[in-house]
Amino acid sequence: GKYEEASAVLLNYISQADAKLHSDQVGKARRFALLSTSRISELRNADELYKHLEFVEKANGKSAVRCPSEDALKLCFSAYGKLARAVEVKEDCYCLVMFRMGRLVNAEASIRYFSKVLEKDPDHSNAVFCLSRSYMELEDWELAKTKLKTLEQNVSGKLLEGVKRNLKVCLEKTDVRAKTGHLTEDELDQLMADFGLKEKKKKKKDKKKK
């Protein structure tokens, strides 16, 4: 995955090797050199397209992508999509490609890419944060909260600000759910009526009065 170094070594070998005596090795070296220079070009092109995008965080952890045009976003998506299909785990650029691809797709699809990053680098803070944000967009507040809590003591600066802000939202959402988990008397009566139990309850009360 170190394409710059690989390309330099291979080209140096090709320039010094005797093509007639080592035709097979020289042929392989040329193919690998071409692959290396091609990957370098693909990465640079994708990186240049990515630089024009701006990622904006909205309320409740949602994010949006601002770009010069729809075509710019499509080109960037296509460039990283091609790399994501070709890149191998052992390559240096693997986490970078998967992370950026995760930011270009919707919340549900992004979980796959951020998870790939974390499989190789469990300490990738930005991937954990973005993964938690994907869960927030899908309204899986408990899972998002769990991911954010793992970051709270290990990050600083703007990332920590984002963690605290999103964690507050998750805590509020889970707290509301916990509170609404207890039925009011009216809700209980309605539930019993739906199941035909309200009349039985009334008869029991009448018997007690007698």
Between these two residues, 40 and 116, which has the higher pLDDT value?
A: 116
Distinct helix (H) and strand (E) counts, the chain: 10, 2
Q: Give residue-wise pLDDT tens across range 127-147.
A: 999 999 999 999 999 999 999
Task: Please tell me the pTM assigned to this model.
Answer: 0.71
Radius of gyration of the chain (CA): 28
Q: Is the pLDDT of residue 14 over 90?
A: no
According to DSSP, the residues that pair with 191 across neighbouring strands are none
pLDDT band at 1 (very low <50, low <70, confident <90, very high): low
| pLDDT at residue number 157 | 95
Between these two residues, 21 and 123, which has the higher pLDDT value?
A: 123
Q: Give residue-wise pLDDT tens across range 45-57.
A: 999 999 999 988 7
| pLDDT at residue number 18 | 62
Backbone angles phi, psi at 199, to 5 degrees: -65, -40
User: What's the average model confidence in pLDDT over 8-29?
Assistant: 66
Q: Give residue-wise pLDDT tens across range 70-80.
A: 898 999 999 99
Q: Give residue-wise pLDDT tens across range 178-197.
A: 555 555 566 567 666 766 66
CB proximity list for 148: less than 8 A, separation 6 or greater: 129, 132, 163, 166, 167, 170
| pLDDT at residue number 74 | 92
